[in-house]
Structures are given as C-alpha cells and as structure tokens.
C-alpha cells in the first residue's frame, strides 16, 4: 500500500480543521477515541497531579490538551503539529482555557528540537503511527523521554496492528462494521483506507 508523504499528511489535516475542532466529529473515526481521551488525561492527572507543563504532539485542533486542562488547570502548553491551520485553531482554543503560556511549533517531530527536562506531561494521540523506520521510532522516543521532567509521564493513544493474523482480521472486521454503522459503506471505505495507510507506516 502506498505510503502518504509528510506533505500529503499536512494537506489532509490542513483541510480537516473544523471536523477536528469538535470531539464528536474529530475523534469519531476511532472506535474507542472518546474513552482513550478520558483514560489518558485521567492517568496523566493521577501520575502528575501538580503538573505545570504539557507537550501535545500531533495536537490537531487541541482536543487532548483541552481535556487535560479540564483536569489540571493553567498548564503551560506546547503544541506541535504538521498543519499550521490546526495549530492556529488549537492555540485559539487552548489559550481561552489556560492562564499558562501557549507555544506552537509547526513541524515533523523527527526534525523538531525539544529542550531537555521541560515537560511534566507528554501526550501523543493518534500521531506516532506516522513514523516509518525503526530508527525514527528510536530517535523520537529518546527525544520525548529526554524532554520529560523527573517523574514525568509520556502517554500514547494510537492505532495498533495485531501480530496474530486471525486476531488482526477480527479487529479490522469490527472496525469496518463500526464505520458502516457510523455513516454507511462510503464512510467505511474512506476511513478504512486512511487507517490502513497510517498503520502501514508503523510496520
């Protein structure tokens, strides 16, 4: 399956800002996204209840940071995304919900320089599957680990491929049925193709 380029990913998300500005529409393509959003931010609060800073990698329109701010107030927020359109919307939404500083960085995490010992919480929601090579995974995880303060937490929500072929088939069949129920066969085809391209990047 053809891999999307970074430019193609950026363009796709540049055109999806309004959909991703709404949790009901922006997160709907993943079966458990709403649960994951709640679980990850609740976990971050439990681990770092006195957190002062957050890095939201692949922030989109800011849904994960907004959920985090509903649990731990007035965080300093650093938002990273490929799409400047997404970053503009995220900064607008997040700035309205925190008295902390809000910084944005447009770019590919593989190219972005992060300060060491800076963030109490790092969130990566449905973004790391875009990494391609083992060396990318190792480099990015090291960079994010180094950016954490002592005792900080790095939490990931993402698409997974199952090693067991039959289990993988079950998962994709359930996902297809979910998408058909959501919006019919055209919705299933659109999201399933996009998801399989994303998964392919991480294999």
Residue 14: band (very low, low, confident or very high) from pLDDT cuts 50, 70, 90: low
Q: Which whole number is the average pLDDT over 144-169?
A: 87
pLDDT of residue 36: 81
Q: Identify the residue whose tokens are 């800002």.
A: 17
Whether the per-residue pLDDT at 12 is higher than 80: the answer is: no
What's the per-residue H, E or C state across 70-89? Answer: CCCCCCEEEEEECCHHHHHH
Whether the per-residue pLDDT at 91 is higher than 60: the answer is: yes
pLDDT of residue 24: 52
Task: Give the three-class secondary structure for 103.
Answer: strand
Distances (CA, A) of 70 to 63, 67, 97, 176, 187: 11, 5, 8, 32, 31
Whether the per-residue pLDDT at 152 is higher than 80: the answer is: yes
**DSSP state letter for 2:** P
Q: Which whole number is the average pLDDT over 120-132?
A: 88
Whether the per-residue pLDDT at 5 is higher than 80: the answer is: no
Distance CA 200, CA 149 (A): 32
Domain spans of the chain? 6-158, 162-203
When the candidates are 3.30.590.20, 3.40.50.300, 3.40.50.150, 3.30.70.640, the CATH number that belongs to 6-158 is 3.40.50.150
pTM: 0.73
Q: Which whole number is the average pLDDT over 161-186?
A: 75
Sheet of 148-157: strand order equals 102-106, 76-81, 53-57, 119-125, 148-157
Query: Tell me: the pLDDT tens digits for 41-56?
Result: 999 999 999 999 999 9
Q: Which whole number is the average pLDDT over 168-197?
A: 64
The number of C-alpha atoms within 13 Å of 1 and in the hemisphere containing its C-beta is 13
């Amino acid at each position: 399956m053809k891999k999307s380029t970074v430019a193609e990913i950026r363009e796709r998300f540049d055109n999806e800002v309004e959909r991703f500005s709404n949790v009901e529409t922006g997160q709907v393509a993943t079966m458990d996204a709403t649960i994951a959003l709640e679980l990850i931010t609740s976990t971050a609060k439990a681990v770092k209840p006195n957190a002062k800073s957050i890095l939201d990698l692949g922030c989109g329109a800011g849904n994960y940071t907004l959920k985090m701010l509903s649990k731990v107030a007035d965080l300093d927020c650093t938002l990273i995304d490929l799409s400047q359109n997404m970053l503009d919307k995220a900064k607008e939404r997040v700035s309205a919900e925190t008295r902390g500083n809000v910084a944005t960085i447009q770019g590919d995490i593989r190219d972005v320089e992060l300060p060491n010992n800076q963030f109490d919480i790092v969130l990566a929601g449905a973004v790391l599957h875009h990494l391609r090579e083992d060396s990318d995974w190792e480099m990015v995880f090291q960079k994010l680990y180094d950016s954490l303060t002592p005792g900080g937490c790095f939490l990931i929500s993402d698409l997974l491929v199952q090693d067991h072929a039959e289990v993988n088939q079950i998962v994709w069949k359930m996902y297809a049925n979910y998408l058909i129920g959501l919006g019919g066969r055209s919705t299933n085809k659109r999201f399933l193709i996009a998801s399989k391209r994303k998964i392919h990047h991480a294999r």
